[in-house]
Amino acid sequence: MRKLIFGIFVSGVAIYFLSKNFDITEFERLEGKINWWIFPLLFLSNLWAFVPFSIRWYYLLEKKISFAQAFTTAIIGVGLNMVLPARGGDLVRLIMNKRDTELPLTHLLSRIFLEKVMDLGSVVVIGATALFYMGLGQSKNLSLLLLSTLVIVGMIVGLTLVRYFLEPLRKLTKKLFGIIGKHSLYEDKLDHHLVEFSSFLQGDKLLRPVLYSIPTWVLGYAVSYSLAGILIGMPLTFPEALLFMFLGGMGVAIPSAPSGIGVFHAAIISGFIILGRDPGEGLVYATVVHLTQFIITTSLALVAYLYWRWTHGKKIENKNFF
């Protein structure tokens, strides 16, 4: 509840400042400029983005679910993230995968942590590349990259400790839990999962998921950002689409109301300012991207959920039959 209230507050502040600085008549820019024939392509690009995303999740779970299960639950999770606070769709995805595989929830949580590290790392690398490619790598534009890089470094340090210094880490964690009187909780519920997580980080188990991370963003989401510009008669170069994808991804990482309303718009507008373009155009573009993604992903999530329910119903019927 506290996260929800804080998220609503953050989005409320962002919307307040946007409303103070931008006129609603900015949307008159769209009059007669919408290319409706692009919308089916935008729909397909959003659907396509789930393919590498699902393949990565399939390998993160070491093929313990089918690709169809990974694909449908990925769509459901992302769709619900547009509606539920605090990335609640990811939690729903884990619960559904737990039901599909009977894997422990802590096992699934460790995998989604890796997924988020890969996403953050990919987005920062893509954003930095786009900035420098367009000659925008001045120090004033690098503060967000620096902050993101520090977060990534912290995550990598944590993963390195788990991978190479497991035993000292287990001893330290055991002592810390002992100090707070939760020694049995660590021994019974957490220790074996830490060991299992360390085992996953060894060998080539992590290689394939890492390789699918960049294509997930470049060949999936960035294409959608580019098509959204064409949809409203505001064409973007592909590096610009990559930059907006980076800023949008970092914007929704800030705790905010469901689907990052307000903070997403502010992040995209900052990109237009960096590029020296009209920030009013940025508000229009951000709103269109946000609205189309909301409509498309939630619609896909509804269809995927109905399919998931149907397949589970068929499984139950088959079990009862035999």
What secondary structure letter does DSSP report for 65?
S
Q: What is the pLDDT of residue 117?
A: 82
Is 12 part of any domain? Answer: no
Which domain, by its residues, includes 111? 35-304
Is 130 part of any domain? Answer: yes
Q: What are phi and psi of 217, to 5 degrees?
A: -90, -45
For residue 252 the two structure tokens come to 């929704």
Whole-angstrom distance, CA of residue 245 vs CA of residue 212: 17
Is 121 part of any domain? Answer: yes
Whole-angstrom distance, CA of residue 247 vs CA of residue 268: 6
Question: What average pLDDT values come out for the chain (322 residues) when binned by 10 residues?
Answer: 61 63 68 85 92 92 89 92 80 87 79 85 84 70 67 77 84 84 75 75 77 86 91 89 88 69 84 86 88 92 90 64 49
CB contact at 8 A, 88 and 80:
yes
pTM: 0.81
Q: What is the pLDDT of residue 201?
A: 76
User: How many domains does the chain fold into?
Assistant: 1
What value, to the nearest 5°, has the Cα angle with vertex 262 and ends 258 and 265?
A: 115
What is the DSSP annotation of 217-277?
IIIIIHHHHHHHHHHTT----HHHHHHHHHHHHHHHTS--SGGGTTHHHHHHHHHHHHTT-
Is 85 part of any domain? Answer: yes
Is 313 part of any domain? Answer: no
Angle between helices 279-321 and 38-60 (to 10 degrees): 60
Residue with tokens 């970092």: 250
Is 19 part of any domain? Answer: no
Is 309 part of any domain? Answer: no
C-alpha to C-alpha distances, 214 to 53, 95, 126, nearest whole angstrom = 10, 26, 8
Is 311 part of any domain? Answer: no
241 Cβ neighbours under 8 A, 6+ residues apart: 222, 223, 225, 226, 229
Q: What is the pLDDT of residue 57?
A: 92
Q: What is the pLDDT of residue 224?
A: 92
